[in-house]
Amino acid sequence: MSADTTSSNPVVQAIVGGTAPAQARAMAAKGLLPLGAEDLLEVLVVLRADGEAEIASAAEETLGEQGADVLLGAAASPEASPRVLAYLARRADAGREVHEAVVLNERTPAEAVADLAAATSEGPLLELVAINQQRLIRAPAIIDAVLANPARTTEAERRVRETRREFFEKEFGVQQVAEEMRARGMTAAAEFVEAAESVTARGAAALTFEDAWLLAEHIEVSDAEIDESWLPSERIEELLAESEEQRAENIERIIAEAEKEIGDVAPERVSLIRRILLMTVKDRIKLAMKGDREARSILVRDGNKIVSTAVVHNPRITDKEVESIAAMRTVSEETLRAISTTRAWARSYPIIHNLARNPRTPLPNAIQILPRLRTHDLQTLSQNRNVPEAVRRQAYRLAQTRKGH
């Protein structure tokens, strides 16, 4: 019996072992030999790489003609050839049922599972991959593949991150990572990592050291530069509370908003959004005040009003960013209130104009802004059906008063 096959069929052994004559290989490639379904699939998979192009082409064609039931039967077989399972894992059109059976089959090579985890667009399939912790431990490349796939679900990410943290990262210390960051001149990032709750958290919020290095590139403000005096002292614990379901909804909403605004979102951007928003609320608040423009653009959309408001307390935020935030229809009212009551921004006409036109700006703040608007803009605002009626009426009165009516 060939060491490369578990089949007892001498024809299969000869083809797999490379001793079969060209005529036998050609007939097998066309499916003309009396072989069982599993033996035929193994032979065809081997012949796809045959040295004779005509045979390889015929094998590929015959494979394509195999019915879904045949492929599923092979994928689910406890005696399936690992090479057949690897082929099915990498075959994009095999179908979800076949791929699920391949993932559940213990004979499937780990590298093939990693390839499938990297290529699939099926979130539930990635969850199935993530469930097999022993396979993840044996082949950490599967963990990397799941985390790099933008189709991964929150559950899949949670499971593989927990496995990575439990079995591959505990020997590294937070302090070691922080010291390395300081050695590279990344002091602000080192401060964040040392204080991050998510480093020691469990579940989806857990921040791996790989994540820490990813976020380090987006941290530019030192602790000495930030002012936390604005943080509410009352109900703070209630405001920091968040379930995994809420976190998942937050992530999907923000990704959907990004897609609506700019169309296709780069996988790297999706990955960054997920990683940032999986952190605890406390860590997101700190990142909002310490992060760069990209981090701020993500966190200002956060469903937690403290997080989104923290963005406008970032000392590096620019007037142009604030002008854009003031026009956003999805930002929290608290964030818009914070902008409207900040003296420096209240002197910027583009900012107060956007606030006045934003239907989410709290009514008292919008009304206070109106006297500072130009007459032409007041007239336009008085006809804007998107803003509250009280704002329209007051804008109309002010415009008429200035005209002497």
Write out pLDDT tens, residues 211-244: 888 899 999 999 999 999 998 877 777 778 888 8
Q: Which two tokens stand for residue 405?
A: 């009516």
The letter for the amino acid at 293 is R
pLDDT on residue 201 = 72
CB-count burial class (<10 Å; 0-12, 13-18, 19+) for 129: buried
Residues 202 and 243 in one domain: yes
Please say which residue of 317, 342, 368 terminates a domain.
Answer: 317
Beta-bridge partner residues of 218: none
CA of residue 17 relative to chain centroid, distance: 44
pLDDT on residue 138 = 84
Residue 172: pLDDT above 70?
no
**What is the pLDDT confidence band of residue 2, given thresholds at 50, 70 and 90?**
very low
In a domain, 397, yes or no: yes
CB atoms within 10 A of CB 160: 27
In a domain, 207, yes or no: yes
Q: Give the tens place of pLDDT for each residue, 336-395.
A: 999 999 999 989 999 999 999 999 999 999 999 999 999 999 999 999 999 999 999 999
Q: Which two tokens stand for residue 118?
A: 């990297």
**HEC letters along 156-174:** HHHHHHHHHHHHHHCCCCH
Residues 299 and 332 in one domain: no
In a domain, 21, yes or no: no
Residues 403 and 383 in one domain: yes
pLDDT on residue 260 = 84
Q: What SS3 state is found at 291?
A: strand
Q: Which residue has the tokens 């987006």?
A: 218
List C-alpha distances in Å: 64 to 61, 94, 282, 360.
5, 10, 53, 56
Residues 302 and 332 in one domain: no
How many domains are there within the chain?
2
In a domain, 274, yes or no: yes
List C-alpha distances in Å: 152 to 50, 98, 237, 275, 304.
36, 19, 30, 12, 23
Q: Could you tell me what percent of the chain has a pLDDT over 70?
A: 97
**What is the pLDDT confidence band of residue 3, given thresholds at 50, 70 and 90?**
very low
Please say which residue of 270, 288, 317 terminates a domain.
Answer: 317
In a domain, 158, yes or no: no
Residue 89: pLDDT above 50?
yes
Q: Which residue has the tokens 């009514």?
A: 363
CB atoms within 10 A of CB 59: 24
pLDDT on residue 4 = 65
Q: Which domain holds residue 265?
A: 172-317
Residues 310 and 226 in one domain: yes
Helices (H), 235-280: 236-240, 244-262, 267-277
Per-residue pLDDT averaged across 149-176, rounded?
Answer: 82
Per-residue pLDDT averaged across 280-294, rounded?
Answer: 95
pLDDT on residue 286 = 96
Per-residue pLDDT averaged across 244-248, rounded?
Answer: 87
In a domain, 119, yes or no: no
- 78 neighbors 85 (Cβ within 8 angstroms): no
**What is the four-CA torsion angle of 327, 329, 334, 335, rounded to 10 degrees?**
-40
Is pTM beyond 0.85? Reply is: no
* 168-177, 215-224, 285-294: range with lowest mean pLDDT: 168-177
List C-alpha distances in Å: 105 to 75, 122, 138, 353, 365.
7, 18, 15, 61, 62
Residue 170: pLDDT above 70?
no
Residues 213 and 227 in one domain: yes
Considering only residues 196 and 149, tell me which one the structure prediction assigns the higher pLDDT.
149
In a domain, 14, yes or no: no
Please say which residue of 264, 297, 317 terminates a domain.
Answer: 317
Residues 326 and 313 in one domain: no
Q: Give the tens place of pLDDT for each residue, 294-336.
A: 999 999 999 999 999 999 999 999 999 999 999 999 899 999 9
Q: How far apart are CA 30 and CA 199, in angstroms?
A: 57
List Cβ neighbours of 279 (8 Å cut-off, separation of 6 or more): 196, 197, 198, 205, 207, 287
Tallying the residues shown for the chain, one arrives at: 405
Residue 405: pLDDT above 70?
no
Considering only residues 347 and 176, tell me which one the structure prediction assigns the higher pLDDT.
347
Residues 200 and 285 in one domain: yes
Residues 189 and 294 in one domain: yes
pLDDT on residue 169 = 65
Q: How far apart are CA 280 and CA 221, in angstroms?
A: 19
Q: Could you tell me what percent of the chain has a pLDDT over 90?
A: 67
Q: What SS3 state is found at 219?
A: strand
**What is the pLDDT confidence band of residue 171, given thresholds at 50, 70 and 90?**
very low
- Listing DSSP states for 329-349 in one string gives SSS-HHHHHHHHT-HHHHT-H
The letter for the amino acid at 81 is S
Residues 269 and 388 in one domain: no
Q: Give the tens place of pLDDT for each residue, 13-59.
A: 888 888 889 999 999 889 898 888 888 999 999 999 888 999 999 99
Residues 263 and 206 in one domain: yes
Residues 269 and 200 in one domain: yes
In a domain, 54, yes or no: no
Q: Which residue has the tokens 């431990």?
A: 137
